[in-house]
Chain A
Amino acid sequence: MTTTLAGGRAARRQTMRRIRPRRSPATVLLLAVFAGAVGVLWLWWHNTPSIADQNGKILNAGRITGLLAGYLMALVVLQMARVPALERRVGSDRVARWHAMSGRYTLCLVFAHVFLIMWGYALQAGKTLGDIVQQTIDSINQLPDMGKAAIGTGLFVLIGLTSIGPVRRRLPYDTWYHVHLLTYGAVFLTFWHQITTGNDFAIEPTAKTFWYVLYGSVTGLVIWYRILTPIRLNMRHRMRVEAVIEEAPGIVSVLIGGRKLHRMGAQAGQFFRWRFLAPGMRFSSHPYSLSAAPRPDMLRITVKAIGDHSERLRELTPGTRVWAEGPYGAMTAQRRSRGKVLLVAGGVGITPMRALFETLPGAAGDITLLYRANTTQDLALWDELAAIADDRGARLMYAVNSPDGERPDISADRLRQKLPDIDRHDVFMCGPAGFAQSVYEALRGAGVPARRIHHESFEM
C-alpha cells in the first residue's frame, strides 16, 4: 500500500492562500514579565522604609528573593499550561527552554530565600549562622503554614535534582516526568506561607489580592488547557490507529483516523502530543509532527524508531485508541515573510517539512526543499515529495553521503551556488541538533538574516 496523502483538495487550497506573516509575541511577553518583576520589587521598596543593621539587610535580601521566587514560580507553571498563544505563536520548543531556564533560576531564588531568611532570624534571635538548622526547625514549628512550605521545598529539591542534565539523561523519561508533576503539589504547599507570613502581604491587602489573582488565573489556565481542552478535543474527534506503514528502514508512518479532523485547527508544521492507549504506552505522551496536511478523516505522523516509545509504534494494531493533545508548535506558514522559501530537512526531520512543502502558499518556483539523509534508502516519503514537487512546480534536492561514506558539502558557497537568491529566502529547518547548527552557520554565511531562519529544537 502506497499512501500518498498528497494532492488533497484541502492542501491545494492552502497553497493559494495569501501570505500573512505574524510576529512572535515573545518580546512583548518578556517585557510584561519584567514589568511584573519591577512591580514586585516596588512592593518591597514601598513597604520597607528603612533597614537598621546588617541583620536587617540579610532579612530583607531574603524577602526580596522570596517575593521574586513567588512571582516567577507562578510564571514557571504558566509556561507549561499549554496556552495556545505560547505554544502556537512563541513555539513550544522556545517556551520549554524558557521554562527550564526560569525554573532553574526560580529554584535558586527559593533556596537563597530559605537560607537568607533563616540566617536573618537566627541572628535576630542572638544566635549565629551555625544555628541556622535549629532556627529552621523552630520556624517550621512556630510560624503558620511553614510545615507545608517545608514539605514543598523538599519536593522542589527533588524536582531540581532530577532535572540536572546528567541525572535527567540517566533517568527514564516517565520517571522524570512523574517527579516533575509533583511541582503542582510543591507550588500549592509553598503558596500559603507567602500569604500568612509574607510581610508585604500582611500589610498590603492589594498585594494579597494580586497574588491570589496571579496564582488563581494560572491554576485556571492549567485546568482549562491541560485537562478540559484535551478532554473536549478527544471526545469530539475520537481518534484511532488506522494503519502503520514502514516508510524507510526504521521509519514508520502511523495513520490516524477520526471524526472531522480538519476541525482540530492543525496546520502543516505543527505537532500533537500523542498517547496510544495500548499496553505499556498509555502512561506517557510524546510529541510527533504531522507529516501531511490534515484531512477530514485522516492524520499522519512519521516517526523514526530511536527510543523505547517510537520502537513500540511499529507494533500498534489498527483500532487502538489514540489520545492527542494539540495542535502545538509555531513553525507554520505564519512564520514566513513574503519572499521565497527554502525548507531544510535532516533525516526524520522531514516530517513537518513534508507537510509544509505541500501546503506553503507560493507560486511555482517559490518553494525549494533540501533533504539530507545518509543514503538514498533513508529518504523516507521521497515518492510523495517528488509528486508534490511535480504538482506545484517546486524544487526538490537531496544530499546523501557518497558511497565511501563521505558527508555531502552543505556550505555557504554551495548553498549560494544552488540558490543564487538564497539571501531573500525564508528558511524552515528541522533535523538533529548538530545538523541544524551547521546548516544554520552555512545559511548565515550565505547571507540569510537570523530572523528569517525558523527552527524548532526540543533539545535543552
Chain B
Amino acid sequence: MKKSHPIRRVVLATAATVSGVVLMLSLKPASDPNAQAAGAAPQQTAAAQQSPQGGASAAGSANGTIDGNVAQTQYGNVQVRLTVANGKITKAEAIQAPKGGTSDQKTALSIPKLTQETVTAQSAQIDSVSGATYTSNGYKQSLQSALDKMKASAGSSKPSASASQGSGSGSGGAAQAKTVTGSVAQTQYGPVQVRITVANGKITKAEAVQAPKGGLSDQKTALAIPKLNQEAVAAGTAQIDSVSGATYTSGGYKQSLQSALDQAGG
C-alpha cells in the first residue's frame, strides 16, 4: 500500500538497464587477450623452433614457413602457419586459435582436423568441423591468405619480405605484376568488389575487397569467396561457376571480376 511512483519506476528501470548494458559492453576488451597471450603461446614456441622468423623465412625459395593473416572470429583470432617444401604444404598449424571456456575444447577438437585436411587438400577447400564453424571459417580465411602469399612468393622470382607479409595487395614484390580493382557490383546483400593481381597476362591472385556481411551473409561469404577466388585464378577469365547457395554474391563477384579484367586488358 506504499505510494507508487510509476514515472520514477520507469526512469529507474531504464537507467539501470541502459547503464548495466553499457557497463558490460565497455568492460569487454576490443580483442581477445586470451587468444593472443595464453592461447597461442605453446603453439608459437613450437613453431618458433622450426622457423625463428615466421613469414620471412619463405624468402628465396618456395620452401619454408608462411604465416596467414590473422582472421578475427567471434571467439578469438585464428592464424595459420604453413610449412612449404617444393611448393607443397608439408605441415599446417594454428599459431593462434580461440581460447577460454568452451573454446578450449572446440579448438582442441577442430584444429588438428583442419590442419590434417589442409595437408591432404593442399588448398583452402576443406570441410568445416561441425560445432566449430566460426573457428573453421577463421581458419580457412587465414589459410587462404597464407596460400595467396605462397603463390605470390612462388610466382615472383625475387620475393621480398613484403610478399610474405602483404595482406591486401600481394603485389608488392612481384615483378611486372599489377593489381587492378574491379568496379563495385551491388547485390541484394551488399556490395561485392574484386581485386586481381595480374602478372604476364595471367591472374595470379584474386580477392574480394568487399563482400556481403551480417547475419547469414557472413557464412555465405566465407564459403563462396575463397572458391570464387580460386576459380578466377584457375580460369583466368570471368567465365567461372557460381557457388550454389550464394548466387547473388557469385553474380556480383563475376560482374566486378569482369570489370577488373577489362581494366587489366586495356
Contacts and interface: CB of A to CB of B under 8 A. Distances in A.
A47 B101 contact: yes
Contact of B72 (A52, A65, A108, A126): A52
Nearest to A48: B28
Interface stretch (B86-94, B168-176, B211-219): B211-219
A49 B189 contact: no
* Main SS at interface, chain A: helix
A135 interface: yes
Interface in B104-150: 106
3 closest residue pairs by CB, A with B: A124-B214, A125-B214, A49-B32
Given A125-B189, A126-B191, A50 B13 contact: no
Interface in B152-186: none
A123 B190 CA distance: 11
Interface in A429-447: 429, 436-437, 440
Nearest to A116: B21
Contacts of A109: 17
Contacts of A50: 28-33, 76
A122 B106 CA distance: 30
Contacts of A65: 17, 21
A199 B102 contact: no
Interface string A133-156: 001001100110000000000000
A353 B247 CA distance: 73
Given A47-B102, A52-B72, A124-B214, 17 more contacts: A45-B24, A49-B28, A49-B100, A51-B29, A61-B22, A105-B13, A108-B14, A121-B215, A125-B213, A125-B214, A125-B217, A126-B210, A127-B190, A138-B189, A203-B75, A437-B1, A437-B3
Interface in A406-427: none
A51 B213 contact: no
A437 B3 CA distance: 8
12 contacts: A47-B102, A50-B31, A51-B30, A52-B72, A64-B25, A121-B215, A124-B213, A126-B210, A138-B215, A203-B102, A429-B1, A440-B1
A429 B189 CA distance: 63
Interface in B1-59: 1-3, 9, 13-14, 17, 21-22, 24-25, 28-35
Residue picked from A57, A64, A122, A125, most chain B C-beta under 10 Å: A125
A311 interface: no
Interface stretch (A369-377, A382-390, A449-457): A449-457
B56 to A, nearest CB: 28
A60 interface: yes
Interface in B200-249: 210, 212-218
B103 interface: yes
Nearest to A206: B102
Given A50-B30, A52-B30, A61 B215 contact: no
Contacts of A105: 13
Given A50-B30, A52-B30, A450-B2, A126 B190 contact: yes
Nearest to B28: A51
B150 to A, nearest CB: 28
Interface residues of B, number: 41
Contact of B35 (A49, A203, A450, A455): A49
A45 B20 CA distance: 13
Contacts of B76: 49-50
A274 B21 CA distance: 44
B102 A204 contact: yes
A433 to B, nearest CB: 10
A117 to B, nearest CB: 9
Nearest to B100: A49
Contacts of A170: none
A243 interface: no
A48 B28 CA distance: 8
Contacts of A57: 25
Of listed B22, B28, B31, B72, residue having the most chain A CB within 10 A: B28
A440 B100 CA distance: 56
A51 B72 contact: no
Contacts of A135: 214
B74 A199 contact: yes
Contacts of A138: 188-189, 215
Contacts of A450: 1-2
Interface centre among A142, A199, A440 (most CB of B within 10 A): A142
B24 to A, nearest CB: 7
Contacts of A139: 215
Contacts of B189: 125, 138
A122 B98 contact: no
Contact of A61 (B14, B21, B106, B210): B21
Contacts of A122: 214
B136 to A, nearest CB: 13
A437 B14 CA distance: 28
Given A60-B25, A124-B213, A125-B217, A49 B98 contact: yes
B75 A49 contact: yes
B258 to A, nearest CB: 22
Nearest to A125: B214
A445 to B, nearest CB: 13
Contacts of A45: 24
A313 interface: no
A95 interface: no
A255 interface: no
A126 B13 contact: no
A18 interface: no
